[in-house]
Amino acid sequence: MKYGQRTFIFTFLFIPVLVYVVFVAVPYLTSMAVAFTKWRGLSMNITFNGFNNFIKLGNDENFWNALSHNGIALIALPIVIIIISLFFAFLFTQGIRGNGFFRVAFFFPQVMSAIIVGVLWSFVYHPTIGMLNGFLGILGVSSMKSFPWLGDPNTVFGAILAVTVWQAVGFYMVLFITGMESIPPHFYEAAKLDGANSIVMFIQITIPMLWESIRTAIVFLALGAMDMYAIVMIMTNGSGGPSRAADVVPRYMVEAAFQNGEWGYATAMAVVLMLIILILSILSLRFTQRETLEF
């Protein structure tokens, strides 16, 4: 019996673990090593390069440019998305009709693929036939006529961030609504007796009780801000925008690896970004730590 059980466990684990180790675990682990090598082009001529890739990164303006855009996203996305989605979640508690419809509609962009979202919004931002300039025209803003939102270095990254906000708000709204449903109603009843209005109750009861969900949202959005590969690739046609004005590290990394064949250098970029992600997750979890309310 015992013997049969061990064989069973082994057979069931063997193939999944093998697939996972070969295609996921080994690539992740070897990345750490490849980052310290000089490895270029099609040759398999790989030599140890010490910290040279990292020193080169420090002097690479394009890398700092790309990293700065991830940095802007890191600050802007969590703040804007969490505020808007908390606001919508609050509106949903105000006893409105048709909240089923609004909820389903708001959430939909989350399940759309990056390519659809990117192409759709490239149409919206199109200088001549785009919806955005069309609306601005209707509103009488004539200075924006034929303005190329994705073709101007000053607006391209903002335009892409706006799309990211558009896509994410519904998801975080649903996350917060789910959290709000588990808050016991007697908290609100007590506050109502004390004469609190719904805005005060939202700030003093709902937000503290939702803190765990908000923390999760911060970590998720921070991770997302460090990526942004697909949406930037699509909305800038693979270029990272005019004069790289919307470039992000993952896109620059893929360019270095798969266009220039600088395998070691590209992997060093991935490792730096990974370290930043790890530090950020630890910091954001630590800084947002509060005593959880027991109920």
- The correct pick among 41, 134, 153, 208 for binding other proteins (CB under 8 A) is 134
Among residue numbers 202 through 241, which ones bind other proteins (CB under 8 A)?
212-213, 216, 220, 223, 226-227, 229-230, 233-234, 237-238
**DSSP 8-state symbol, 290:** -
Among residue numbers 163 through 192, which ones bind other proteins (CB under 8 A)?
166, 169-171, 174-175, 178
Please answer whether residues 145 and 135 qualify as being in contact, where contact means their C-beta atoms are separated by less than 8 angstroms: no
Min dist CB 152 to other proteins, Å, is 17
- The correct pick among 16, 184, 185, 195 for binding other proteins (CB under 8 A) is 16
> Considering the rule CB under 8 A, would residue 140 count as an interface residue with other proteins?
no
State how far the Cα of 68 lies from the Cα of 74, in Å rounded to an integer. Answer: 10
> Considering the rule CB under 8 A, would residue 105 count as an interface residue with other proteins?
yes
Q: Residues 18, 21, 27, CA angle at the centre, nearest 5°? A: 145
Min dist CB 118 to other proteins, Å, is 8
Looking at the Cβ atoms of 186 and 267, the one nearer to other proteins is 267
Looking at the Cβ atoms of 186 and 250, the one nearer to other proteins is 250
> Considering the rule CB under 8 A, would residue 102 count as an interface residue with other proteins?
yes
- The correct pick among 120, 191, 276, 280 for binding other proteins (CB under 8 A) is 120
> Which region among 51-59, 67-75, 119-127, 285-293 touches other proteins (by CB under 8 A)?
119-127
* 280: nearest Cα among 52, 73, 28: 73
**Alpha helices (H) along 194-262:** 198-201, 207-209, 211-225, 229-235, 249-254
* 88: nearest Cα among 177, 179, 198: 177
Among residue numbers 250 through 289, which ones bind other proteins (CB under 8 A)?
250, 253-254, 257-258, 263, 266-267, 270-271, 273-274, 277, 281
Tokens, residue 174: 């649903």
Looking at the Cβ atoms of 244 and 251, the one nearer to other proteins is 251
Looking at the Cβ atoms of 134 and 186, the one nearer to other proteins is 134
Residue for token pair 């007590």: 190
Min dist CB 113 to other proteins, Å, is 3
State how far the Cα of 20 lies from the Cα of 220, in Å rounded to an integer. Answer: 24
Among residue numbers 22 through 51, which ones bind other proteins (CB under 8 A)?
22-28, 30-31, 34
CA distances to 48, 149, 158 from 132, rounded to whole Å, are 52, 9, 14
Q: Residues 138, 103, 177, CA angle at the centre, nearest 5°? A: 125
